[in-house]
Amino acid sequence: MTLNQFDDTGLGRVLCVVAHPDDMEYGGSACIAKWTKQGVHVRYVLLSAGEAGIRTIAPEKCKRIRLAEQEEACRIVGAELTVLDFPDGLIEPTHEVREAITSEIRDFHPDTVVTINFDFQARWGLNHVDHRACGIATVDAIRDADNPWIFHGAGEPWKVHQLLVTGADNPTHYVDVSGEPFEAGVESLAAHRVYLDNLGDDYPNARELFDQFTAGTGTEVGVANALAIRVYDM
C-alpha cells in the first residue's frame, strides 16, 4: 500500500481524544510535537485517569501518579490537558460519554480530531475495551457536535473536518516525525516512568518502542522516522 504524506499545512486546532494516560504517547505524541512547533494549538482529552492501569498500585495513588506523568508528557510536546472522570477499564460509548466529548469539541473548536486504533484487533493483539469504546464514542461525538438538535447543553454546534487515527491497521497517510519530533515523542513516552516500569523487565524502553512505531514506515517512505495514520474526512 502506498502512503501519502499527510498535509499538515492547514492545521490550526487539534483535539486528541483517548481513553488513558500514555495512549497518545504510543507514537502520536511525535506528531503533536511537530505540529505545536508549527504553531498548532493542541489539547488532549483523556476519558479516564488510568487509575486501574497498574495492578500493584491502588487506584487513588495510581491516579495521582499517572496524571502527573501525563502532565509532564503534555508539557514536553506543548499540548494542553483535560481529564474527564469516566472509570478506567469500564468506559462504554454511552450518551453520557458522547455528550462529554461533544462538549469538548464545541468548546475547543478543532479542525481536526485525533484518536488511536479502536478496532477489535490492533497490531499488538486484541485491543483494550476502553480504546474500542473511546474510538466509537469519538466518531459519534464528532457528528453529534455538528448537529444542532443533539446535546443542547453542550455548547453551540461545531464542524470537525477530519479524523486521524494512529496505530491503524489500514493507514492511508504518514507524518514525517524525523529528528526533533521523534526525540520529543520518545521523551514524552519516557515520562510515563512508573507505568512503564511496571510492565516488566522484558518490556521495550521508550526509544525502542518509538523505533517500532516509526522506523518501518520511515524506511517505506524514504525518511528516518514516520508515523502511519488513517485519515477520514468528516
Domain of 24, in residue numbers: 14-233
| C-alpha cell of residue 36 | 505545536
- Which pLDDT score is estimated for 122? 81
* Residue 210 burial (C-beta neighbours within 10 Å; 0-12, 13-18, 19+): buried
- 156: in domain: yes
Q: For position 121, what pLDDT does the model report? A: 83
Q: Does residue 123 carry a pLDDT above 90? A: no
Considering the entire predicted model, what is its pTM?
0.97
Structurally, the chain folds into a number of domains equal to 1
CATH number at residue 85: 3.40.50.10320
Residue 16 carries which DSSP code? E
Residue 6 in domain: no
- Cβ neighbors of 157 (< 8 A, separation 6 or more) are 106, 145, 146, 147, 148
**Alpha carbon distance 93, 77 (integer Å):** 28
Indicate the average pLDDT of the chain: 96
Pairing between strand 13-18 and 41-46?
parallel
Considering the domain boundaries, does residue 178 fall inside one?
yes
34, part of any domain: yes
Residue 177 lies in a domain: yes
Q: Indicate whether 226 belongs to any domain.
A: yes
- Total count of residues recorded for the chain: 234
